[in-house]
Amino acid sequence: MHRIIKEKLPRHIAVIMDGNGRWAKKNMLKRGMGHEKGAESVRTVVKTCRELGIPYLTLYAFSVENWQRPKNEVRALISLLETYLRTELGAMKETGIRLFTIGDADSFPKTLMDLLSRAKEETSENSGMVLTLALSYGGRDEIIRAVNNILRDSKSSNIGEKMITKDFFSHYLYTANIPDPDLLIRTSGEYRLSNFLLWQMAYTELYFTDTLWPDFSRDDMIEAIVDYQRRERRFGLISDQLPKD
Ligand code: IPE
Ligand code: IPE
Ligand code: MG
């Protein structure tokens, strides 16, 4: 913890929580148990980020592609999300966490949708940290949705060709009110983005670890942040052009 430079904290950390299934297999358990243990890691990571004072944490909990998994696994994931919301709402309120979602959450069963609406509503005044859950999320789907919404709006307002700037476009994404991630963490030794925040990650620092998500601890989160703080973010410039810190 003392290795972290308070002034250089990432403003937004995004996480691809991967490896629940392999963790279960390694421990000779059913995949569902891996997801359950993974939910424990979610609790730990949320708590750690809140304590450190990270303003935005985004967790990839369910991709649009994940709908194609076996039905019982999809059901188990949904029920685990429901349990998570039921058990964590109190803690979110106490610790000043605001819940937000990105993705096509309307595709979930009503029980989950209601729990999400309630949790979002009841935490909407909180300003400690924005916890965003990516649910039924896909980066390409998000971009296509933005294009379609711009087309729709262009019918009732005069949106001209030149008006579509990066900023303008960003406002049509699910993440309109969230800054781009500074740090992406992916667990389980996979080196890919799996359709996560494609537009937003243009200049995100990527951190990959072999640790499986259910084993990801507070120390692992601290390690990822320390690693991030050692990097030089040049955004296309050369070192000499960057502000000295
Ligand atoms: C991540 O773990 C959880 C979700 C994708 C919802 P996985 O279920 O993908 O675990 P592996 O990749 O099979 O080990
Ligand atoms: C990415 O993990 C999605 C989530 C963590 C929710 P996957 O396990 O679905 O990704 P792939 O299939 O290995 O790329
Ligand atoms: Mg996986």
Give the mean pLDDT of 89-108. Answer: 96
> How many residues does the structure list for the chain?
245
| The dihedral formed by the CA atoms of 116, 122, 126 and 129, expressed in degrees to the nearest 10 | -20
pLDDT at 64 over 80: yes
pLDDT at 230 over 90: yes
Give the tens place of pLDDT for each residue, 13-24: 999 999 999 999
pTM for this entry:
0.98
Query: Left if phi > 0, otherwise alpha if psi is -120 to 50, otherwise beta: which for 197?
Result: left
Is 104 an annotated catalytic residue? no
Of ligand 1's listed atoms, the one at least distance from the Cα of 18 is: 1
Task: Give 7 Cα–ligand 3 centroid separation in angstroms.
Answer: 34
Is 18 an annotated catalytic residue? yes
Instruction: For residue 105, name the pLDDT band (cuts at 50, 70, 90).
Output: confident
Model pLDDT, residue 158 = 85
* CA distance linking residue 107 with residue 78, whole number of Å: 11
| Domain boundaries defined on the chain | 7-230
CATH classification of 7-230 is 3.40.1180.10, yes or no?
Answer: yes
Give the tens place of pLDDT for each residue, 120-164: 999 999 999 999 999 999 999 999 999 999 999 999 988 888 899
Nearest protein Cα to ligand 1, atom 3: 18
Model pLDDT, residue 228 = 98
Instruction: For residue 205, name the pLDDT band (cuts at 50, 70, 90).
Output: very high
Model pLDDT, residue 166 = 97
* CA distance linking residue 34 with residue 48, whole number of Å: 21
Give the mean pLDDT of 206-218. Answer: 98
pLDDT at 206 over 90: yes
Give the mean pLDDT of 103-115. Answer: 95
Nearest protein Cα to ligand 2, atom 11: 194
Task: Give 34 Cα–ligand 1 centroid separation in angstroms.
Answer: 8
